[in-house]
Structure 1
């Protein structure tokens, strides 16, 4: 893997969302098995602000994933507009757009994640999600 902290952080954003997709869809029967590697990326004191403005910790996030295995078959998750907004040493803040598509419905959010990069691993410290307004079809 690349030793550039920004590139490792960017890779982690994509990898984490691949695991989240696996949990939500359980398409290949590995949704439950994806929870452990997914939770391994979050620090013990990880917290996030959800799209509904709730502040939750790592334990609540883990419960959410455990209850969501296979809950969204057919879900697509697309990560785009990934930008570095700040970096100091091995800590990187990234902003990205996350789009969920399912059953001809699309929702998007802008997220800012703060990640700490180690030699061969990346740990998520914080995540803040802001929902984007729904666009109505023409």
Structure 2
């Protein structure tokens, strides 16, 4: 059984890794195909996401989004800040983090809360809720 510290470390690394893979896919990097497959394996089959616009989407819709948008944002850069652990139990970690997107001269950010299940030491994203940050942030 993993310790609380190990669970948190796995979950936090998953947040960082997932956003690198997303950036690879959207920018069309040489690693986009491998990153896409690794990214898609990171979601539970019953994954649910609430987008910044309030739409609720499932795993299949998220997969379609990534597959249809490969290479469509070549200048995208994603960074993660303020990753905070909200809850840990034997099988899951809940994190809150700030995600910053920079593309050409556009800069946006959002706050996200994610539930990551840890199964056999592997992170699986179960739930994600994103909230757009105000322009002053």
TM-score bin (small chain): over 0.9
Secondary structure of 2:66 counterpart: helix
In structure 2, the partner of 1:13 is 15
Structure 1 CA distance for aligned equivalents of residues 8 and 46 of structure 2: 22
Structure 1 CA distance for aligned equivalents of residues 24 and 121 of structure 2: 23
Alignment of 1:75-86 (within 5 A): 75-86=76-87
Q: Give, in angstroms, the shift of residue 88 of structure 1.
A: 1.4
Structure 2 CA distance for aligned equivalents of residues 20 and 66 of structure 1: 11
Secondary structure of 2:85 counterpart: strand
Alignment of 1:112-131 (within 5 A): 112-131=113-132
Length-normalised TM-score, structure 1: 0.92
Secondary structure of 2:134 counterpart: coil
Query: Deviations along 1:115-138, whole A, 9 cap, x unmatched?
Result: 0113331111000000012249xx
Q: Could you tell me which runs of 5 or more consecutive residues in structure 1 were left unpaired when the two chains were aligned.
A: none
Q: Give, in angstroms, the shift of residue 76 of structure 1.
A: 0.7
In structure 1, the partner of 2:24 is 22
Length-normalised TM-score, structure 2: 0.92
Q: Greater helix share, 1 or 2?
A: 2
Alignment of 1:81-120 (within 5 A): 81-120=82-121
Structure 1's consecutive aligned runs of 4 or more residues displaced over 3 angstroms after TM superposition are none
Structure 2 CA distance for aligned equivalents of residues 102 and 5 of structure 1: 32
Aligned length: 134
